[in-house]
């Protein structure tokens, strides 16, 4: 089902352009501009960058999860030929500031005011000087002539640790007497908040049935194809710093560098070269350590993270426990949701309440639940810090909520799809006021969408009726097939802003500069599409440049499903401003009124007199400063415009997923046979790119559902240090994915765009879990944790069988 984009008719909502031009290239399945280069191996990734005189760094990491560093001794390492320097945590004291409370910057003042979250500051040092709090925490860095030598030297740096008691479980970390990670905090609670809508306790009190349960989502690592890396050079004469780093937020890295190294922003240039993925926001020790070291040594230094380091420390996510109480009635209507949840933040809670609040804000999902109360705690443990990872709180609560819907369906004897439908927010309730603020502090109002239609479309796509027959048939032959659903909301296009500069050169070629920074999302293509439509050129005429702080003064970056919305809108508006400027200049040149002009395919024409035209290049030449300028009086030279889009709030994308699985009842093994999605991300800029995002997201989500988990033993040692133990789904585990869309353009921005970067990853845990439960009916297998390990599933199956045998009936629960 599609509602037309109708961009031309819509007013240029809240942006300084007179009108929004209709979509022409936007919405088309253009081939990605970046592919020819990237697919043929001509990308330039961090490890491809070489600077004359460059040295190589390797980072020494704590092997103990909690300890006090008694002594450093680097003398043997320093004696190794080819080793330039070793810096320990103690060498950095007073020279490099600790991480600023990055996360605190991310809490919107409006949210602070409305929710009053408690966030306890605790800075993470770039290198640990005294205490270490997790295995993998950086404690020293070696710089040498090659990475091989640097690693040889790592073996020789001696660090003596006095080991301290360890806590790896968030519930244990809250218990009295638990080892406290950061003494000055008093306990291990790093952040805490409560939000509520309606009177939950009253609803629970009067609800005909109350379900109490616990849901867990294991720790997942993000595994970008390219691990991180940093290369820094410090100009010998000026001391100016140039830093290349695999980071989706070059401007943020620059801000931190400026504070931590106490340098003016303008003397630091941060560049993100081509990046093989990211999976979220975040800054890391090495982003600051390597520039510091390069400055100290006066020579370029490069560090490239290896896969072991990546698995150990880089952007772990999820790791949540939800304790819920749910009130519902005999019709399967959910009346109240009370959720107290713990985010295992690891050893440093670097992102304040980003993940936990995200979880809370998305918990209600597509469902019209009259009363909710959500209490989130970020708890410190001796594990690597947790970061916002693609989905960032949404997969966790969606797993919880969609399992609840299925449980309620089962308890009430209602078909799971029907039960889901009964609880959905209905079209006539839209715009739906959720009565809780979003992470930006603005009260949540769901964007236009039709959830029942979304579910119906998916049921058609999967052919629900036919599947039930196939399932019954398969069961007769001893095969257990199941289907499971999940629906989700995706607040997307988070602010606070993103900017774009659109400039036309004197040959008529257009360049877009933006602070967003793609690493697989295809922004070089989609922003060119937006620009082309609003300016009146073709996407081939447009080059998109990003990932460099010298391009544009402010930038936020690419994460949180935000760039299509924010950079897309900024680009469209800036392009529109350029068009208006071009028309004004052309009017001057052609001596007509600008209202008689139109700009198409790079040429300004007088309407009705096609012979009178002027190319965009000529307009740009007329806009150049100097005696040949034909600028209207008072107009600034250069055919360019800059626009920072400040979204009033997020857009609300949504989606519904279905998984079809087969379960081996005797081994607990699960195979996902089919996966189907219907999403609504508003006006799609390029459906092929949207579908690529969905595919990648679904693969990540399937990993989360079934195989991927960062596991620590009780002593705090990680057990999943290689890809033999950390199991990413590969092409052989990823089933065919069918992607379909609903299109309800966003009301929030003038181009109707909603984000789509994370949704794919949000649905699979719940859809797969529900499918497994469905496959095993009439047994009542109660999956409450992902990933679903075959051994655990086998246990659950055995438990359910034992219970059924005891009850004397297959699925007896009241």
Partner 1 sequence: MKPAPFDYVAARSLDEALAALADAGEGGKVLAGGQSLVPLLALRLARPDVLVDVNQIAGLDRLVVDDHRLVIGALVRHRAVELDERVRRAFPLVSAAAAQIGHVAIRNRGTVGGSVAHADPAAEWPTLLLALDGEVEVASPRGRRVIGAGDLYAGYLTTTLEADEVVCEVRGTLPEGRIGTSFLELARREGDFAIVGVAAVLAREGDVVRHCRLALSGVGSTPVRARGAEELLAGGPADDAAIAAAARTVADEMDPPGDIHGSADYRRKVAEVLVRRALCAARDEIGTVVAQ
State in angstroms the smallest separation of the CB of 799 from partner 1: 14
State in angstroms the smallest separation of the CB of 807 from partner 1: 24
Question: Distances from the Cα of 814 to the Cαs of 210, 412, 797, in angstroms?
Answer: 12, 9, 19
State in angstroms the smallest separation of the CB of 101 from partner 1: 33
CB nearer to partner 1: give 8 or 308. 308
> Residue 23 and residue 16: Cα distance in Å, rounded?
18
Side-chain half-sphere exposure of 427, counting CA atoms within 13 A: 7
- Give residues 298-327 in contact with partner 1 (rule: CB under 8 A): 306-308
Cβ atoms of 525 and 539 within 8 Å: the answer is yes
State in angstroms the smallest separation of the CB of 583 from partner 1: 57
Non-local CB neighbours of 661 within 8 Å, separated by 6+ positions:
481, 482, 483, 484, 670, 671, 672, 673, 768, 771, 772, 775
> Residue 736 and residue 669: Cα distance in Å, rounded?
19
148 binds partner 1 (CB under 8 A): yes
187 binds partner 1 (CB under 8 A): no
Q: Point out which span in 144-152, 234-242, 336-344, 424-432 binds partner 1 (CB under 8 A).
A: 144-152
Q: Point out which span in 150-158, 394-402, 487-495, 646-654 binds partner 1 (CB under 8 A).
A: 150-158
697 binds partner 1 (CB under 8 A): no
Taking CB under 8 A as the criterion, the residue among 35, 48, 71, 155 binding partner 1 is 155
656 binds partner 1 (CB under 8 A): no
> Residue 399 and residue 140: Cα distance in Å, rounded?
40
CB nearer to partner 1: give 154 or 360. 154
Taking CB under 8 A as the criterion, the residue among 21, 55, 122, 147 binding partner 1 is 147
Task: Quote helix, strand, coil % in the chain, to nearest 5.
Answer: 30, 25, 40
CB nearer to partner 1: give 174 or 727. 727
CB nearer to partner 1: give 351 or 712. 712
Strand, helix or coil for residue 637: coil
Question: Distances from the Cα of 69 to the Cαs of 66, 133, 156, in angstroms?
Answer: 10, 11, 16
State in angstroms the smallest separation of the CB of 268 from partner 1: 30
State in angstroms the smallest separation of the CB of 796 from partner 1: 13
152 binds partner 1 (CB under 8 A): yes
- Give residues 401-440 in contact with partner 1 (rule: CB under 8 A): none
CB nearer to partner 1: give 20 or 776. 776
Strand, helix or coil for residue 133: coil
Taking CB under 8 A as the criterion, the residue among 73, 151, 171, 240 binding partner 1 is 151
State in angstroms the smallest separation of the CB of 785 from partner 1: 15
CB nearer to partner 1: give 67 or 729. 729
Cβ atoms of 173 and 101 within 8 Å: the answer is no
Q: At what angle do helices 563-590 and 616-623 cross, to 10 degrees?
A: 80
Taking CB under 8 A as the criterion, the residue among 669, 715, 805, 809 binding partner 1 is 669
State in angstroms the smallest separation of the CB of 307 from partner 1: 7
Residue 578 CA to its chain's centroid (Å): 32
- Give residues 756-795 in contact with partner 1 (rule: CB under 8 A): 790-791, 794
Tokens of 668: 């607990």
Q: Assess whether the previous peptide bond of 496 is cis (omega < 30° from 0).
A: yes
How many residues line the site for partner 1 (CB under 8 A)? 26
CB nearer to partner 1: give 11 or 719. 719
Convert 480-493 to b/e letters by CB count within 10 Å (16 or more is b): bbbbbbbbbbbbbb
> Residue 527 and residue 202: Cα distance in Å, rounded?
50
Instruction: Of 225, 334, 331, 215, give the one whose Cα is nearest residue 276.
Output: 225
State in angstroms the smallest separation of the CB of 347 from partner 1: 22
> Residue 109 and residue 683: Cα distance in Å, rounded?
30
Strand, helix or coil for residue 158: strand
79 binds partner 1 (CB under 8 A): no
Q: Point out which span in 41-49, 149-157, 399-407, 490-498 binds partner 1 (CB under 8 A).
A: 149-157
Taking CB under 8 A as the criterion, the residue among 6, 8, 609, 667 binding partner 1 is 667
CB nearer to partner 1: give 116 or 792. 792
802 binds partner 1 (CB under 8 A): no
- Give residues 704-733 in contact with partner 1 (rule: CB under 8 A): 707, 711, 719-720, 722, 724-725, 727, 729-730, 732-733
Tokens of 611: 């012979």
Instruction: Judge residue 801's burial from the number of C-beta atoms within 10 Å of its C-beta, 0-12 exposed, 13-18 middle, 19 or more buried.
Output: middle
State in angstroms the smallest separation of the CB of 409 from partner 1: 30
Q: Assess whether the previous peptide bond of 582 is cis (omega < 30° from 0).
A: no
State in angstroms the smallest separation of the CB of 26 from partner 1: 39
Question: Distances from the Cα of 648 to the Cαs of 131, 374, 462, in angstroms?
Answer: 43, 25, 37
Torsion angles phi and psi, residue 596, rounded to 5 = -90, 0
State in angstroms the smallest separation of the CB of 801 from partner 1: 13
Torsion angles phi and psi, residue 461, rounded to 5 = -60, -40
Give the residues lining the site for partner 1 (CB under 8 A). Answer: 147-148, 151-152, 155, 306-308, 666-667, 669, 707, 711, 719-720, 722, 724-725, 727, 729-730, 732-733, 790-791, 794
């Amino acid at each position: 089902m599609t509602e037309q984009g109708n961009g031309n008719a819509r007013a240029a909502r809240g942006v300084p352009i007179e009108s929004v031009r209709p979509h022409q290239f936007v919405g088309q399945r253009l081939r990605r501009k970046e592919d020819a280069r990237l697919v043929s191996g001509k990308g330039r990734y961090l490890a491809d960058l070489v600077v004359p005189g460059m040295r190589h760094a390797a980072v020494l990491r704590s092997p103990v999860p909690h300890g006090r560093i008694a002594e450093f001794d680097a003398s043997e390492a320093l004696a190794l030929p080819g080793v330039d320097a070793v810096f320990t945590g103690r060498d950095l004291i007073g020279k490099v500031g600790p991480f600023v409370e990055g996360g605190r910057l991310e809490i919107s003042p409006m949210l602070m005011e409305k929710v009053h979250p408690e966030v306890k500051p605790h800075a993470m040092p770039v290198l640990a000087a005294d205490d270490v709090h997790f295995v993998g925490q950086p404690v020293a860095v070696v710089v040498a002539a090659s990475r091989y030598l640097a690693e040889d030297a790592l073996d020789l740096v001696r660090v003596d640790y006095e080991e301290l008691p360890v806590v790896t479980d968030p519930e244990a970390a809250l218990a009295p007497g638990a080892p406290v990670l950061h003494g000055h905090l008093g306990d291990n609670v790093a952040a805490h908040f409560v939000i509520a809508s309606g009177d939950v306790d009253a609803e629970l009190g009067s609800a005909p049935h109350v379900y109490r349960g616990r849901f867990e989502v294991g720790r997942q690592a993000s595994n970008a194809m390219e691990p991180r890396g940093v290369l820094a050079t410090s100009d010998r004469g000026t001391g100016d710093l140039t830093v290349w780093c695999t980071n989706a937020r070059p401007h943020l890295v620059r801000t931190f560098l400026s504070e931590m190294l106490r340098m003016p922003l303008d003397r630091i240039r941060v560049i993100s070269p081509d990046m093989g993925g990211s999976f979220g926001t975040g800054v890391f020790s090495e982003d600051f350590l390597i520039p510091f070291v390069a400055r100290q040594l006066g020579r370029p230094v490069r560090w490239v993270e290896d896969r072991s380091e990546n698995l150990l420390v880089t952007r772990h996510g999820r790791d949540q426990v939800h304790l819920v109480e749910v009130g519902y009635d005999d019709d399967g209507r959910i009346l109240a949701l009370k959720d107290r949840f713990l985010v295992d933040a690891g050893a440093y809670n670097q992102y304040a309440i980003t993940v936990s609040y995200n979880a809370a804000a998305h918990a209600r999902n597509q469902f019209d639940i009259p009363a909710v109360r959500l209490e989130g705690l970020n708890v410190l443990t001796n594990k690597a810090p947790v970061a916002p990872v693609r989905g960032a709180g949404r997969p966790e609560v969606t797993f919880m909520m969609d399992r609840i819907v299925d449980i309620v369906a089962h308890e009430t004897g209602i078909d799971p799809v029907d039960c889901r439908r009964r609880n959905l927010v209905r079209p006539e309730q839209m715009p739906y006021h959720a009565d809780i603020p979003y992470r930006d502090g603005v009260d949540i109002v769901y964007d236009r969408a039709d959830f029942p239609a979304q579910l119906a479309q998916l049921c058609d796509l999967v052919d629900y009726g036919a599947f039930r027959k196939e399932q019954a048939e398969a069961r007769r032959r001893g095969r257990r097939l199941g289907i499971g659903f999940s629906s989700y909301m995706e607040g997307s296009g988070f602010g606070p802003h993103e900017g774009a500069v659109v400039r036309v050169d004197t040959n008529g070629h257009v360049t877009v500069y933006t602070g967003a920074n793609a690493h697989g999302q295809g922004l070089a293509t989609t922003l060119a599409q937006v620009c082309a439509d609003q300016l009146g050129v073709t996407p081939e005429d447009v080059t998109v440049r990003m990932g460099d702080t010298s391009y544009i003064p402010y930038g936020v970056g690419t994460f949180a499903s935000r760039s299509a919305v924010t950079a897309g809108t900024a680009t469209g508006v800036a392009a529109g401003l350029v068009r208006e400027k071009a028309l004004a200049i052309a009017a001057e040149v052609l001596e007509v009124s600008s209202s008689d002009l139109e700009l198409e395919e790079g040429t300004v024409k007088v309407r009705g007199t096609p012979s009178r035209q002027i190319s965009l290049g000529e307009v740009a030449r007329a806009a150049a400063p100097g005696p040949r300028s034909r600028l209207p009086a008072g107009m600034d030279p250069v055919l360019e415009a800059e626009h920072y889009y400040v979204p009033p709030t997020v857009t609300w994308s949504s989606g519904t997923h279905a998984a079809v699985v087969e379960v081996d009842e005797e081994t607990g093994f699960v195979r996902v046979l089919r996966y189907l999605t219907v999403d609504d991300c508003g006006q799609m800029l390029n459906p092929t790119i949207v579908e690529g995002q969905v595919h990648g997201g679904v693969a990540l989500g399937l990993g989360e559902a079934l195989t991927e988990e960062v596991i620590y033993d009780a002593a705090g040692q990680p057990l999943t240090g290689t890809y033999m133990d950390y199991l990413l789904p590969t092409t052989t585990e990823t089933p065919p994915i069918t992607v379909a869309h609903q299109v309800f353009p966003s009301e929030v921005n003038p181009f109707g765009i909603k984000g789509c970067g994370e949704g794919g990853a949000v649905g699979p845990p719940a859809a797969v879990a529900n499918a497994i439960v469905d496959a095993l009916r009439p047994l009542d297998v109660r999956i409450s944790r992902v990933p679903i390990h075959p051994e655990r599933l086998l246990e659950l199956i055995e438990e359910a069988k034992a219970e059924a045998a005891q009850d004397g009936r297959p699925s007896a629960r009241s």
